Amino acid sequence: AVVSTQSGHYGRDSSKGVVSSLCPRSFLERQVAQAREDNIHFAVGVEVEFILMKDGVPINNQHFANGPKLTEESELLDEVATALEAQSSACRPIEVLHPESGPGQYEIVFRYTTNPVEIADSVITARQTIHAISKKHGYQATFMAKPFPDQVGNGLHLHISCLDAKKGNSLVPGDQPSGLSEVAEYMVAGILKRLPQLVAITAPTPNSYRRIKPGFWTGHKASWALEDKESAVRLCLDFNTGTVSNVELKTCDPTANPYLAVGGLLAAALDGIRSKAELGPPAVGPVLPTSLTEAIANLEQSTFYEEAMGKDLFKTFIEVKKKKVPTATLR
């Protein structure tokens, strides 16, 4: 039997004719369905960072919002955009494709949707498409969290907001001191509560923990703050209205399985709403795991994620990661 992550009968166990208990996409679909049962629509967007290299070296030394960095690779980037637009059944529309902070680094942003499964599909489609087109142009694309120790790493920034499923209005902005509504505060508190375990899913390689450090805009504590890129959970302002529009999880990188990452995020968010979790003060929280070994140990103790993911998927994920850690290199 083959577990599929895209197209056709998603996650079907061909030997039994049922959805496989190991299907990551089905896990995400369950979280979306459970939220809707509670009259919640989660809207999710994503920013995917990657580095273009030639013979293992970044193709340029230019930085964020640099014009030549964009124009010099316009042929490749235009081809990526065109190819992704042609795959609209498996990819959300592109909002922006632009130069990022690191040498040779670019970022592609996909439009928000109230169907989070489409966001995860978009990440898979983008990674495969960018790899293929980069190779065609004689380059290598890397989505590795921290390919170079002295440069910025690649993130998979997940943006989440919640809406009233019946009325369609955002439940994020509010009159609490945080700038959030009560419901949104519960959501953020739920994410922070589970983050020491969730990070094993959103930062799933030993190399991921080279990126999650102070000073790298990734968040190294389970904390929140308004427009603070050093916090793991950042409250993002709509500068036109002056209100909080969405919440960004920064402790995620492109090596993560997007179905598991988004599913794990939604599970924590919904649990926070259901339990009316209390949001603590900003910029305060426990230090997150500093290695995959530590993160996996945290996750292994989580009955919450075992129940949310299902025992088979939960145990398999942990065992695979345990076997990879001893042989993995940080490079």
The radius of gyration computed from the CA coordinates of the chain, to the nearest angstrom, equals 19
Say whether pLDDT at 179 is over 70: yes
Both structure tokens of 241: 């209205």
- pLDDT of the residue at 62: 83
Mean pLDDT value across residues 81-110: 96
Is residue 110 packed enough to be buried (19+ CB in 10 Å), middle (13-18) or exposed (0-12)? buried
- Residue 242: closest CA among 229, 230, 226, 219: 226
Say whether pLDDT at 178 is over 80: yes
CB within 8 Å of 98: residues ≥ 6 apart? 65, 70, 106, 107
Q: What is the pLDDT of residues 36-80, one digit of tens each?
A: 999 999 999 999 999 999 999 999 998 887 888 888 899 999 999
Band of residue 10 on the pLDDT scale cut at 50, 70, 90: low
pTM of the full structure: 0.94
Q: Are 47 and 109 in contact (CB under 8 A)?
A: yes
Report the share of the chain in percent with pLDDT over 90: 86
Q: What is the pLDDT of residues 306-324, one digit of tens each?
A: 999 999 999 999 999 998 7
Q: Reduced to 3 states, what is the DSSP secondary structure of residue 210?
A: helix
- pLDDT of the residue at 18: 84
Q: Reduced to 3 states, what is the DSSP secondary structure of residue 91?
A: coil
**Calpha distance 46→53 (Å, rounded):** 23
Q: What is the pLDDT of residues 253-301, one digit of tens each?
A: 999 999 999 999 999 999 999 999 999 999 999 999 999 999 999 999 9
Band of residue 12 on the pLDDT scale cut at 50, 70, 90: low
Mean pLDDT value across residues 126-155: 96
